[in-house]
Chains A and B, each alone.
Chain A
Amino acid sequence: MKSLKLALAASAAVIAGFAASGAAAQEDVKACFVYVGSATDGGWTQAHDIARQQLEDTLGIETAYIENVPEGPDAERAIERMARSGCTIVFTTSFGFMEPTLKVAAKYPDVKFEHATGYKTADNVATYNSRFYEGRYISGVIAGSISESGIGGYIGSFPIPEVVMGIDAFQLGAQSVNPDFTTKVVWANTWFDPGREADAAKALIDQGVDVLAQHTDTTAPMQIAAERGIKAFGQASDMIEAGPETQLTAILDTWAPYYVKRVKAVQDGTWTSEQSWDGLKDGILSMAPYTNMPDDVKALAEETEAKIISGELKPFTGPVTLQDGTPWLAEGETADDGTLLGLNVLVEGVDGTIPSSE
């Protein structure tokens, strides 16, 4: 994925900074990665794998990975295999690896573990995640500005807090420029099925959506949006190749700065267990170039991005009303991280439901 690498160059500056400070490795570190998907899936896992390669290049350390690991007993085996054969730090890159990571960590106190997107830690288990919603908010601002119908579409994967947060941030961003904006949601019930994602995209477009966001991993929705002549946002990697005249921007997973930082910490002996939730300002996610939009919208998007980076703008700031009309955040009130991580409510203006919430 040429374009993905290109986009990751944006974070190269951050990495270079770490490299300069850590010329000589203090300790032999081997970083290992457990992937839930294929290392060449063109989405979530590939972004981690590209970061792994950058980590290798930057620090000159040994790395290894096991791909396509099912969440369950197999994960425990894969993680333990790493812990018992020389890995000093193990990154487990899927939510379903949480309990297996903790179980293995208890047996191998000298090995450090980092679990992506989870919420449980231990002395030698840290968690990390990315504030994707910051990117979703910017997408929303763009969508609200360019949409003529005032209806945006959002292809959801599964109704977990991460996705609900994304939908809400998207709607709040759009609302900030167009108070009448609505977001139609369709749950595809998959992270990865190009056909189904394409079907969901078509359904949304047929129902009047003229700007499309996706929370699934393949480029299929982007292709459909291109075919139908509407605009869309990419996910996980730069999807500009699939929609040269369609992609407005994409939210890029750029894990490398985080991986470099943490492995450096192991080398320096300063690693501690923490719950890290980095955002745009840390380079753990970044925005693909703003394309296919008028200059004033582009300027607005860049301004929003700058404000989020500086901390001046927090996407989840009141007044915010929920879908059913009840107030959620009061004027000036900001949702705390705990609330966001367990988010299970949709905000006003979202046209859709969270299935199976009692």
Chain B
Amino acid sequence: MRIELERRADSSPLFSLLSPLIAFGLTVFFGAIMFALLGKDPIEALYRFFIEPLFDIWSLHELMIKAAPLIMIAVGLTVCYRSNIWNIGAEGQFTVGAIVGSIVPVYFYEWSSPLLLPIMLVMGAAGGALYAGIPALLKNYFNTNEILTSLMLVYVAQLFLDWLVRGAWRNPQGFNFPQTRQFVDAAMLPEMVSSGRAHYGFAIAILAAFIVWFMMRFTLKGFEVNVIGQSQRAGRFAGFSSRKMVWFCFLLSGGLAGLAGISEISGALGYLQPQISPGYGFTAIIVAFLGRLNPLGAIVSGLVLALTYIGGEGVQFTLGVSDKVTRVFQGMLLFFVLSCDTLILYKVRIIFAGKSSEGKTS
């Protein structure tokens, strides 16, 4: 038995819709088996995982908080990956964005002004962009592989933050604990509605997604990204500079990652500490791909991934399903989604013992 793929002339609109549903169905099926094997009621577990968080105002707020940084970073990455430029160091750009954005509230900790927040956001985005500029510069002028340099810079950024909050930026009134001063209220991103704590970070993320989507769809720049992504040679013939594209992609994705970093700090945290991200920059890579490298798709996949965190925590708390199980469940979901997306671009044939009978044609 073997499996053969045949490329479709065009991506199948039917399977664009159906594939996530199939993936979800498979995850639910295997998830149910897993929960049953662990001695938990599979129906209740799945309900608490996927359904309950969606019908509770509090959970919806939490969903938005968790999804905001994922979406914001992933949106920038979609542009990178579409142009075949591999920035996998968003985690580092997120961190540097948070650091640079925090310079003003840390040093001028008593200054409270309506200008403060905009300054922080701009500085955060600039910080992330500049940091992403390093791998871009190295790629353009020294021909170094950007996957590696951007990844290495993640660790450098994290250690730099660690050094700052344990040293120069440590709260003098904080008993030497590794934390900066608490930011003033004017430095905090306000909550969107009074029913919960979701802040404007989510709105910024959605806005960013729409702007980038518009750019990709309707502007020459978007066309350029796609042409260079499909073939550098074709891009050169069209007169597009791949070097400029490297700059553009890194600065854009780094800027958005930096913006996500400072939004996270000023929206949800209110101070800097050694660890500010549970791997958002890496998870966002998966979000970008689950969203099929489409900025609007990233909104959906970001929310779905956030749901797996919130739901996982829910079953952990209510049913005592350990965190390890929810992580396996999350991994399973990712695998099913990734494999089912094959159906969009390819016809899948299962061929039995040599003769070419069509098992499952789609």
The listed residue with most B CB atoms (<10 A of its CB), out of A67, A85, A343, A356, is: A356
Residue of B nearest to A64 (CB): B317
Residue of B nearest to A340 (CB): B175
Partner of A64 from B275, B276, B320 at Cβ < 8 Å: B320
The listed residue with most B CB atoms (<10 A of its CB), out of A78, A81, A82, is: A81
Q: Are B275 and A66 in contact (CB under 8 A)?
A: no
Nearest CB of chain A from residue B56's CB, rounded to whole Å:
10
Within B264-297, which residues are at the interface with A (CB < 8 Å)? 264, 268-271, 273-278
Q: Are B178 and A342 in contact (CB under 8 A)?
A: no
**Given A70-B278, A81-B313: A161 touches B268 (CB 8 Å cut-off):** no
Contacts of A343 in B (CB 8 A): 176
Contacts of B58 in A (CB 8 A): 80, 84
Q: Are A160 and B317 in contact (CB under 8 A)?
A: no
Instruction: Tell yes or no: A281 within 8 A of B by CB.
Output: no
Instruction: Tell yes or no: B65 within 8 A of A by CB.
Output: yes
Q: Are B176 and A160 in contact (CB under 8 A)?
A: yes
Partner of A70 from B197, B275, B318, B324 at Cβ < 8 Å: B275
Instruction: Tell yes or no: B193 within 8 A of A by CB.
Output: no
A66 CA to B273 CA in the complex, in Å? 21
Instruction: Tell yes or no: B47 within 8 A of A by CB.
Output: no
Nearest CB of chain A from residue B130's CB, rounded to whole Å:
23
Q: Are B268 and A72 in contact (CB under 8 A)?
A: yes
Q: Are A73 and B269 in contact (CB under 8 A)?
A: yes
Instruction: Tell yes or no: A178 within 8 A of B by CB.
Output: no
Within A140-173, which residues are at the interface with B (CB < 8 Å)? 158-161, 164
Instruction: Tell yes or no: B168 within 8 A of A by CB.
Output: yes
Q: Are A66 and B313 in contact (CB under 8 A)?
A: yes
Within B316-330, which residues are at the interface with A (CB < 8 Å)? 316-318, 320, 322-324
Q: How large is the interface on B (under 10, 10 to 19, 20 to 34, 35 or more residues)?
A: 35 or more
Q: Are B270 and A342 in contact (CB under 8 A)?
A: no
Contacts of B264 in A (CB 8 A): 72-73
Q: Are A358 and B167 in contact (CB under 8 A)?
A: yes
Partner of B275 from A80, A96, A159, A189 at Cβ < 8 Å: A96
Contacts of B182 in A (CB 8 A): 99
Residue of B nearest to A74 (CB): B278
Partner of B268 from A68, A73, A95 at Cβ < 8 Å: A73
Partner of B273 from A39, A71, A82 at Cβ < 8 Å: A71
Instruction: Tell yes or no: B347 within 8 A of A by CB.
Output: no
A341 CA to B264 CA in the complex, in Å? 29
Instruction: Tell yes or no: B163 within 8 A of A by CB.
Output: yes
**Given A72-B273, A99-B271, A341-B175: A77 touches B65 (CB 8 Å cut-off):** yes
Instruction: Tell yes or no: A38 within 8 A of B by CB.
Output: yes
Contacts of A80 in B (CB 8 A): 58
Nearest CB of chain A from residue B154's CB, rounded to whole Å:
16
Contacts of B310 in A (CB 8 A): 77
Q: Are B316 and A67 in contact (CB under 8 A)?
A: yes
Instruction: Tell yes or no: A344 within 8 A of B by CB.
Output: yes
Nearest CB of chain A from residue B9's CB, rounded to whole Å:
45
Q: Mark A277-321, 1 if CB is under 8 A from B, else 0.
A: 000000000000000000000000000000000000000000000
Contacts of A81 in B (CB 8 A): 313-314, 317
Q: Mark B298-339, 1 if CB is under 8 A from A, else 0.
A: 000000000001100110111010111000000000000000
Contacts of B349 in A (CB 8 A): none
Within A56-90, which residues are at the interface with B (CB < 8 Å)? 64-68, 70-74, 76-78, 80-82, 84-85
Instruction: Tell yes or no: A326 within 8 A of B by CB.
Output: no
Within A309-358, which residues are at the interface with B (CB < 8 Å)? 341-344, 355-358
Q: Are B313 and A95 in contact (CB under 8 A)?
A: no
Instruction: Tell yes or no: A108 within 8 A of B by CB.
Output: no
Contacts of A158 in B (CB 8 A): 166, 178, 274
Q: Are B175 and A78 in contact (CB under 8 A)?
A: no
Within A177-236, which residues are at the interface with B (CB < 8 Å)? 189
Q: Are A342 and B273 in contact (CB under 8 A)?
A: no
A73 CA to B196 CA in the complex, in Å? 14
Q: Are B313 and A344 in contact (CB under 8 A)?
A: no
Q: Can you list 20 contacts pairing A with B, beta carbon distance less than 8 Å?
A: A39-B322, A66-B323, A67-B323, A71-B275, A72-B269, A73-B66, A73-B264, A77-B62, A77-B65, A78-B317, A82-B317, A84-B58, A96-B273, A99-B270, A160-B176, A160-B178, A161-B175, A161-B176, A343-B176, A356-B163
Task: Give residues in A with beta carbon < 8 Å to B.
Answer: 38-39, 64-68, 70-74, 76-78, 80-82, 84-85, 95-96, 99, 119, 158-161, 164, 189, 341-344, 355-358
New contact pairs (12) apart from A72-B277, A158-B274, CB-CB < 8 Å: A66-B313, A70-B275, A73-B268, A73-B269, A74-B309, A76-B197, A77-B62, A78-B313, A96-B273, A99-B269, A161-B176, A356-B163
**Minimum-distance CB pairs A-B, first 10:** A356-B167, A73-B268, A70-B278, A342-B175, A68-B323, A67-B323, A161-B176, A344-B176, A77-B62, A342-B176
